[in-house]
Amino acid sequence: MNHEISAETIANLEKRLRYISGLIKQNGRKILNHYPITSPQFIALQFLIEEDLTIGELSNKNGLAFSTTTDLVDRLEKNKLVERVRDTNDRRVVRIHILSKGRTIIEEVIGKRQEYLGDILENFSKDQTESLNEMLTFLYEEMQHVNHK
């Protein structure tokens, strides 16, 4: 591996990734304007589409305070996007389960976000797109590895 990466190159990469993330979020907020959920609710539903979580687990994943996450889940439940269910193995544990209305919203929004990215990638060759995907996958895996040490 090349360990002679300049500080300037690292700074430029960080800046580009930050700007790209900002543009994706900005576009995502535009898409969310057509749905009855907020950005924090969208983030929570993304985690819940993968698996049922407790309030504590969801708080840890989305980086919000326990009380803030409880309020967020209360609003999602009121809008019939999620429900609280007792864990079958331990009745003391309550998990948040995404309902079909919440799942549909997430699938539609992610589909529109993917369309947006697809439109951008029209200007890339197939090789460039595959290379970008491979590099971003490697970057993500390396970050996951470092974060789980």
What are the tens digits of pLDDT across the range 52-71? Answer: 999 999 999 999 999 999 99
Question: Rounded mean pLDDT of the chain?
Answer: 93
- 8 Å CB contact between 76 and 42: no
pLDDT bucket at 139, cuts 50 / 70 / 90? very high
Give the pLDDT of residue 135: 96
Q: Is 95 helix (H, G, I), strand (E, B) or coil?
A: strand
Give the pLDDT of residue 2: 56
Q: Does the pLDDT of residue 1 top 70, yes or no?
A: no
Give 7-19 pLDDT, tens digit per residue: 999 999 999 999 9
Give the pLDDT of residue 59: 95
Domain 7-147 has CATH 3.90.1300.10: no
Give the pLDDT of residue 20: 94
Q: Does the pLDDT of residue 74 top 70, yes or no?
A: yes
From residue 61, how far is each of 48, 104, 108, 130, 148 by CA, in Å? 10, 22, 22, 29, 14
Q: Does the pLDDT of residue 87 top 90, yes or no?
A: no
Q: Counting beta carbons within 10 angstroms of the beta carbon of residue 95, is it exposed (0 to 12), middle (13 to 18) or buried (19 or more)?
A: buried
